[in-house]
Structure formats: structure tokens, C-alpha cells
Chain A
Amino acid sequence: MLFACCSLTIYGMRKGYRASVERVLAATAASLSVVLAMVATLPPATLGADHTLCLDPLPVNRHNGQGIAGSPDGVSANLEHQTLSMCQPPAAIELNGTFAYVNIEGPPGILNDIIQSGMGQCRGPFACDAGMHAFAGYGIENSSPGCAGFQDIVPILDKYAWPSGTIYQVYHQSNVWKFYAGGFLLKSIPESAVCWAPAAATWFGESLDVGDAIGGSVTDHFFITSMKSTQTEGGAFAYTNLDSTRACSINSTGNHFCDLVGPSSLAIWSGF
């Protein structure tokens, strides 16, 4: 359209000059088409009614959800297939995002002793491209009981395609730890890779910027349902039987909410 317009403006110019101008315009149009093609490959911004401004260049992680103590060999839940809401617009160098995970965690207070499978999106370096993905990962603290001789491993975001199915699991089975998303096996790691002793099964939403939602919005809550765990390797999963006095044990302060909607189901959302 631009080229067609401008071609009209050079009608009547002397032949040589006109050819030169046309060459420049052709080159410009070609360059523009390349740039536009590149822009078209960028992931679309996730705008929604429930987003708010991004405020922190560094991650400020918060969690809402549920934990139950034990020695789990498996954790499971249905994570609603809902595009989670990130804050907008990002700063030039911004790390923000929002997730939902099922987890097995190690001794209390040791952040990296965790095995996770879940979904979400984030913006920044790492595996963050502002699109929804499944994520799987685990970590190790060398100082944890049983982990002498192991290297510290940071449970960094490792992304996979976001499946339409909703069953997410971490499952200790047949001498390996398996990570499932949407019913698909994302990865499995040797049993020996996890040196710490599982101490809790948890289900939570997480955000990285105070402008990010945790879970859904006021009008569209995010549901974690069919929450189950097993206490034996390869064992059958049993539904949680939460009551209101034990609901939402993982609860960030601020404008974020969690509610027990059944003995094995939570709703989590943010107030914007």
C-alpha cells in the first residue's frame, strides 16, 4: 500500500531519476517486509481485563495454595487450562510471570529441595517468551540431609509445549521420578537424582512481579481440582480431604486470595 501510494507521486519524473527513486523504494519495501515478518513472529502480548502494571524488574515471588505434610512419592491435580494473566507493560529488562504447579518439597525452609510440574508464562530471559508453556524442574541443596556429594541444582524453568489436558503430576514410579503435564510424560529422572527426603505435597500458584496475578482474576478464578497424593513409590493416588481449618496454608499477603471449594479443590485468584 505504501509502495503503491508513493509510486503515484513519482509519475512524470525524468526516466533515470524515477528509476533511482523506485530502486530506493523497492529496497525500503523489502527491508520493511523483512522487519514486519520478524515482528509477526514475536509472541502476542497477553492483554486482559485483570492485568495491572509491572512494577519490579527483579522477581518477587509469591505463592497461594495448599500444602500437606507427609513423605509423598507422588502429587497430582487438575490445573485448569486457563491462560494466566501477566502484568503489562513490561519494563525494558523485566522478569515477570505467573504459574501454577504441583510439587513435592523437601525439608521445611530449604527452598531448592523441590520437584515441580506445572504451567504458566513469563517474560524475560531464561525460558520466558511470554507464551504459555508447561514447565518441569527440580532442585537440590547440597547441605540437605542425604545430599553430601551432590552438586547444588537450581530448579530453573525448563519449558515444554503447553498441552490442552489438565492432569499434572510428579510421580515416583519404577525407580524414576516422572513429570507429567496434561497427561503427557514431559521427562523422567533417575531416582538417585533426588537425594533429599520428600516432606510435603504442595499445590500452588506463583507470580514473579507484584503486578502479576496469582491464578485467575476476580471474575475468573483459577481452579486446582482433584488434588491427590500417594505416600508410596508407584502407589495409587488418594484424594486430599481438606477441611476449612487446613485450607490455603500457602497464602501470600496482599491482593491475592485462595478458597477451599471442596475437600480436594481450591480456587486461587488476584483482586485485579
Chain B
Amino acid sequence: MKRLKLQLFLGAVVSMTAVVAVVEAVAPDARLALCGEGFAGNRATLSFEIPDVGRVWDHLPAMKMAPELAAKSGPGFVVLFDRYEGLGMNGPISATNVVCVVDAAGHTMVLANVARDGLRVP
């Protein structure tokens, strides 16, 4: 009887592990979705972690001014799109050379027409 219970328990654990593993395998990084990955054919061309969102210019030195971003600190996530369909708060956005920066709190900033000269990926 004890053996049967153990087998039942192990069966349940194996099954749960399998389900969770499948979910992890198919679930994309939630930060990609925050940036609009998958919407209207949006496909990230590159994404990478950075140690300090306020120093994103270390990785995109040709990007122009963005004072709010420069004032931030802490780790972040950068997503690059060549072509982008977005949802502006005031309406739909079509843009190219988009950089989406997600800070540690999950807040996003989307910058368009960003020059990528000198791009450095950590």
C-alpha cells in the first residue's frame, strides 16, 4: 500500500514537472510582449539585458537624447525591432528602427528611428 502511494505521488510529480516544463518552453519573455513582440508581425531582431538603463547609450551610442531614460537607474532589458507596429496611447504607431527599454519595474519606453551605429551588445 505504501508503495502504491509512493508510485502515485511520483506519478503526480513527474506529470506536474512535465506540464510546467512545457509551459516554460513555450512562454516568451514577458518583457518582449510588453514591447509589442508578436503584434502585427512585430519580431524582435535583438534583445539583451543591460546593467543600467540610464547608461543605455553605452550600448547604443548614436541614440539621441531621452532625458527621462538618462535619469533612470537599475538593470533593464533592451529590445530592437527593424519594423514596428505599436500602440501609442494616442493611436496606432508605425515606425522603424525601434528600441524598447524595459526597466526593472516593468515600465517601458519605446524610442523610434534610433541610429544603431556603434551598437554594443553586452
A30 within 8 A of B: yes
Complex contact B39–A124 (CB within 8 A): yes
> Could you say which interface size class chain A belongs to?
35 or more
With contacts A26-B12, A30-B16, A31-B15 taken as known, whether A153 is within 8 angstroms of B67 at the C-beta atoms is no
23 sampled A-B residue pairs with Cβ under 8 A = A26-B11, A26-B12, A27-B12, A27-B14, A30-B15, A58-B92, A61-B92, A95-B87, A111-B88, A118-B89, A125-B36, A126-B36, A139-B90, A142-B113, A153-B66, A153-B112, A154-B88, A154-B93, A154-B98, A156-B88, A156-B110, A158-B107, A206-B89
Closest to B114 in A: A151
With contacts A58-B92, A126-B87 taken as known, whether A151 is within 8 angstroms of B111 at the C-beta atoms is yes
User: How many Å lie between the Cα of A192 and that of B35 in the bound state?
Assistant: 25
Q: Which one of B11, B18, B36, B89 has the highest number of Cβ atoms from chain A below 10 Å of its Cβ?
A: B89
B113 touches which of A19, A29, A118, A152 (Cβ 8 Å): A152
Complex contact A151–B63 (CB within 8 A): yes
Closest to B38 in A: A125
A145 within 8 A of B: no
Residues of A within 8 A of B (CB): 19, 22-24, 26-31, 34-35, 38, 57-61, 93, 95, 99, 101, 103, 111-112, 114, 116, 118, 122, 124-128, 135, 137, 139, 142, 149-158, 187, 189-190, 192-193, 206, 208
With contacts A125-B39, A151-B63 taken as known, whether A38 is within 8 angstroms of B8 at the C-beta atoms is no
A125 contact set on B, CB distance < 8 A: 33-34, 36-39, 42
Complex contact A101–B4 (CB within 8 A): no
Complex contact B90–A127 (CB within 8 A): no
With contacts A31-B16, A127-B108 taken as known, whether A151 is within 8 angstroms of B64 at the C-beta atoms is yes
Complex contact A153–B109 (CB within 8 A): yes
User: How many Å lie between the Cα of A144 and that of B22 in the bound state?
Assistant: 48
Complex contact B87–A208 (CB within 8 A): yes
Residues of B within 8 A of A (CB): 4, 7-8, 11-16, 18-20, 23, 33-40, 42, 63-68, 71, 85-93, 95, 98, 107-114
Complex contact A158–B108 (CB within 8 A): yes
With contacts A27-B15, A38-B23, A151-B111 taken as known, whether A157 is within 8 angstroms of B89 at the C-beta atoms is yes
User: How many Å lie between the Cα of A100 and that of B39 in the bound state?
Assistant: 23
With contacts A23-B11, A30-B16, A35-B19 taken as known, whether A155 is within 8 angstroms of B66 at the C-beta atoms is no
Main SS at interface, chain A: mixed
User: How many Å lie between the Cα of A170 and that of B90 in the bound state?
Assistant: 15
B23 to chain A, nearest CB (A): 7
A135 touches which of B8, B16, B36, B89 (Cβ 8 Å): B89
Complex contact B16–A34 (CB within 8 A): yes
B107 contact set on A, CB distance < 8 A: 158, 187
A152 touches which of B14, B16, B33, B112 (Cβ 8 Å): B112
B67 touches which of A118, A156, A193 (Cβ 8 Å): A193
Q: Which one of A35, A57, A124, A154 has the highest number of Cβ atoms from chain B below 10 Å of its Cβ?
A: A154
A134 to chain B, nearest CB (A): 12
Closest to A97 in B: B87
B21 to chain A, nearest CB (A): 11
User: How many Å lie between the Cα of A20 and that of B88 in the bound state?
Assistant: 56
B91 touches which of A111, A135, A137 (Cβ 8 Å): A111
Complex contact A112–B38 (CB within 8 A): no
User: How many Å lie between the Cα of A111 and that of B23 in the bound state?
Assistant: 39
Complex contact A112–B108 (CB within 8 A): no
Complex contact B87–A59 (CB within 8 A): yes
B16 contact set on A, CB distance < 8 A: 30-31, 34
B113 contact set on A, CB distance < 8 A: 142, 151-152
